[in-house]
Amino acid sequence: MFVQIFSTGGTLDKVYFDALSDYQIGEPVVGELLQQAQVGFDYNIESLTRKDSLELDDLDRQLIHDKVSTCPHEHILITHGTDTMTVTGAGLADIDGKVIVLTGAMQPARFRDSDALFNLGLAVGALNCMPHGVYVAMSGRVFPVDQVRKNRLAARFEGC
């Protein structure tokens, strides 16, 4: 299996520079996580944006759509901020012949208690098992993109 990974930013890639700074979106961390996990598949990572998902606009989502739809590979992983992950995913629903999985993290990957590695592993598992379609892999579950929502109070994704 070959996985094309598109990074868009989000909490997964956030870094904290010092006590006087806010979080900023850093370089994509997904490659480091996959190396640590010693995965047994080939992949390529392309950074499309470095934004919080609340800052993504229609042009950004069109770029993501264009990259996914023209990608020759069947298995697509998109790292994305959690706030608008379902919006971006819904915009990819018209793409046939691919397994597209969006994932992210509630805490930056660089934090010890982050859910990033767990969610990434879940997303890779979904790429291996799910039929063609668009999915969100978060909170220990894989959801069809049109059947999930973020519950901010509970800090998790749930079916709807």
- Phi/psi-derived region of residue 42, left when phi > 0, alpha when psi is between -120 and 50, beta in every other case: beta
Give me the pLDDT at residue 17, please.
60
Look at the block and give the residue holding tokens 């859910």: 115
pLDDT value at residue 79: 96
Q: Tell me, what's the pLDDT at 16?
A: 66
Query: What does the DSSP assignment read for the chain?
Result: -EEEEEEEESGGGEEE--TT--EEE-S--HHHHHHHHT-SSEEEEEEEEEE-GGG--HHHHHHHHHHHHH-S-SEEEEE--SSSHHHHHHTTTT--S-EEEEE--SS-TTSTT-SHHHHHHHHHHHHHHPPSEEEEEETTEEEEGGGEEEETTTTEEEE-
Q: Give the per-residue pLDDT at 21.
A: 58
Q: Hey, what domains does the chain have and what are their CATH numbers?
A: 2-159 (3.40.50.1170)
Quick one: what percent of the chain has pLDDT higher than 70?
96
Using one digit for the tens of pLDDT, what is the confidence trace for 95-134?
999 999 999 998 887 778 888 989 999 999 999 999 999 9
Percent with pLDDT over 90 in the chain: 75
Which range scores top for mean pLDDT: 28-32, 91-95, 104-108?
A: 91-95
pLDDT digits (tens, 9 = 90+) for 56-67: 999 999 999 999
Give the pLDDT confidence score for residue 105 in this predicted structure. Answer: 92
**pLDDT of 27:** 79
Residue 91, φ and ψ in degrees, nearest 5: -70, -10
